[in-house]
Amino acid sequence: MGRTYPRYPIVGVGAVIFKEDSVLLIKRKNPPSANTWSIPGGVVEIGETIREAIIREVKEELGLEIRPERIVDVIDCIIPDKEGKIMYHYVIIDFLCTALSGNPVANSDIKEFIFEPLNRLSGLGLSHNLKRVIEKAYRLRLTTQSFEL
C-alpha cells in the first residue's frame, strides 16, 4: 500500500524531545509535510512495535538514541486533495522521549533541525495539533523526572 491515496490509515509515530526549555523540531524535505516544522518520527513498519518504530525513526533521522517515556497523544492527520479525495491519512502516536546519547545530525530526508525555545514556537507555523502535543508533553515532563539531552 502506498502512502498516497491509501486504502486504510497508516500508523505513524512522533517524538517530542526537549533540551531544557526548547523542543527539537525538524523541517522535512518530502510531502506531505515538506518545508514545515514538525517533530521527528515516521511510519511503523510491519512487525515493529510503536516503541521500536520511534526509536528507529529518531536514530535514522537524527542519529540520536532515545527512550520513549510516555504516549502524549494520538493525532489524526487527514489531508484531502483538491477534489476532496483523501490523499494522506495517518494516525500518529506521539511520545515524550528522553535523549540518551548522540548529537543530532540531519539525514537526507530532513532539511534542517532546531531546538526552539517554547516561548518562540508561535512564529514557526506549527499546526494547532502539534502545538498542543508539545505543550502537553512539556507539562508531562514537568511532573516526572528530567527528560533532557
Active-site annotation, residues: 112
User: Helix (H, G, I), strand (E, B), or coil: what is residue 142?
Assistant: helix
Q: Which helix (H) or strand (E) holds 135?
A: helix 128-142
Which residue in 14, 23, 37, 42 sits closest to 111, CA to CA? 37
The b-or-e profile of 100-137 (16+ CB within 10 A means b, else e) is eeeebebeeebeebeebeeeebeeeebeeebeebbeeb
Phi, psi for 124 (deg, rounded to 5): -100, 0
Q: Are 74 and 92 in contact (CB under 8 A)?
A: yes
Q: Are 10 and 91 in contact (CB under 8 A)?
A: yes
